[in-house]
Amino acid sequence: MLSRTADRLFRMARYTERAEKTCVAGLSTQHRERAQHARGSLPPLNKEAVC
């Protein structure tokens, strides 16, 4: 029972880490797009962050 609990905690930590990395990557992409819009190299963006 202890090994099953440890395995589930390990998997939960991995999924949490993946979700954090995905969110950060999405936010950095949005930041890059917003910077390009501010410089005028892209049309205005009306999306908001989802994370």
> Quick one: pLDDT at residue 16?
94
Tens-place pLDDT, residues 1-51 = 789 999 999 999 999 999 988 887 777 777 777 777 777 765 555 655 555
Dihedral sign from CA coordinates of 10, 13, 17, 23: positive
CB 45 within 8 A of CB 37: yes
Q: Read out DSSP for 18-34?
A: HHHHHHHHHHHHHHHHH
* Exposure letters 12-35 (e unless 16+ CB within 10 A, then b): eeeeeeeeeeeeeeeeeebeeeee
> Quick one: pLDDT at residue 46?
60
pTM above threshold 0.75: no
> Quick one: pLDDT at residue 36?
72
